[in-house]
Structure 1
Amino acid sequence: MFVYEVNQYLLNLVNDMGLELHFVDMNRSGIYFADEKVIFLSNKLLEKNSDFEVTHELAHCIKKHEELKAYYHATDYSRRKLEFEANRIAIEILLFIWSNEYDLEREQLNAVKFMEYYNIPWNLESCVRESMLNYG
């Protein structure tokens, strides 16, 4: 089994936020536990680039979604709204990393390559393209 490394910038961000990151055997891709300051990711993600999942869970922390637990569980709409917000923030963080690692200008950004590299679900393509238009 090939194991991908989590981006060093993301690992530093996790540490700077006082969080721990653990890969464990579980059926979901990831979860953030605010009380324990821990992000758990599925160890199945070790076989692919898991930076999107790491960043998605970080986004929940950044936006303090744990304070909205009742809202999150109230309706399917409210859950989807908070998950989309975490996805959008994750995309923006990864876009910053991507453009800086490869020294890209906004005109050089390629949504398909970006999404494939970070294993971003295709239902988020419009969010990626919008973030790229607004980047910089």
Structure 2
Amino acid sequence: MYEVNSHLLKLANDLGLELHFVDMNRSGIYFAEEQAIFLSNKLLNKNSDFEIAHELAHCIKKHGELSAYYYATSYSRQKLEFEANRIAIEILMFIWSSDYDFEKEHLNTVKFMEYYNIPWNLESYVRESMSNY
């Protein structure tokens, strides 16, 4: 079983959120009214930090208050998911740099993405975040 990153647990706690691993078909969901993030228990056997950071990003950006917008159109949903992905990557970049002492030129996109199980369709966002780091 994989252990959830202590930085993410602290962030969730600081935001007043509880993390729950449950049996469900999607990877995760943030419920603002419950102050909780529910994650698939299938994630317990792998690094689930990206999924957790993604759901934390929804909380940070107060996407729970935008549920009508989220479900209004596929464009609006994609826009909020894009924002959550970008913030999740920023959160993980901060954690990565806090946990590992390295020089900027030693940042490695592939290793970072593989470690955090970040979907490959987000590679350009990861590269951009690393270039801005």
- Check whether TM > 0.5: yes
- How far apart are residue 99 of structure 1 and its match? 1.3
Instruction: In structure 1, list runs of 5 or more residues that go unmatched.
Output: none
Q: TM-score, normalised by structure 1?
A: 0.96
- How far apart are residue 100 of structure 1 and its match? 1.4
Letter paired with 1:94: L
In the comparison of the two structures, how many residue pairs are matched?
133
Kindly, what percent of the aligned residue pairs are identical?
Answer: 80
RMSD after superposition: 0.6
What secondary structure does 1:130 align onto? Answer: helix
**For residue 23 of structure 1, what is the aligned residue in structure 2?**
21
What secondary structure does 1:78 align onto? Answer: helix
- Pairing 1:69-84 to 2, within 5 Å after superposition: 69-84=67-82
What secondary structure does 1:5 align onto? Answer: coil
**For residue 59 of structure 1, what is the aligned residue in structure 2?**
57
- How far apart are residue 107 of structure 1 and its match? 1.5
CA distance in 2: counterparts of 1:64 and 1:105, whole angstroms: 34
- How far apart are residue 105 of structure 1 and its match? 2.5
Q: Which runs of 4+ in 1 moved over 3 A?
A: none
- How far apart are residue 42 of structure 1 and its match? 0.1
On the 8 A contact 1:4/1:48 being kept in 2, the answer is yes
Letter paired with 1:53: E
**For residue 34 of structure 2, what is the aligned residue in structure 1?**
36
CA distance in 1: counterparts of 2:79 and 2:12, whole angstroms: 24
On the 8 A contact 1:51/1:118 being kept in 2, the answer is yes
**For residue 43 of structure 2, what is the aligned residue in structure 1?**
45
Q: Does 1:105 align with 2:100?
A: no
CA distance in 2: counterparts of 1:104 and 1:85, whole angstroms: 27
- How far apart are residue 97 of structure 1 and its match? 0.5
Q: TM-score, normalised by structure 2?
A: 0.98
**For residue 131 of structure 1, what is the aligned residue in structure 2?**
129
What secondary structure does 2:80 align onto? Answer: helix
Letter paired with 1:72: Y
Q: Deviations over 1:51-75 (max 9, x none)?
A: 0000000000000001111111111
On the 8 A contact 1:99/1:105 being kept in 2, the answer is no
CA distance in 2: counterparts of 1:35 and 1:105, whole angstroms: 41
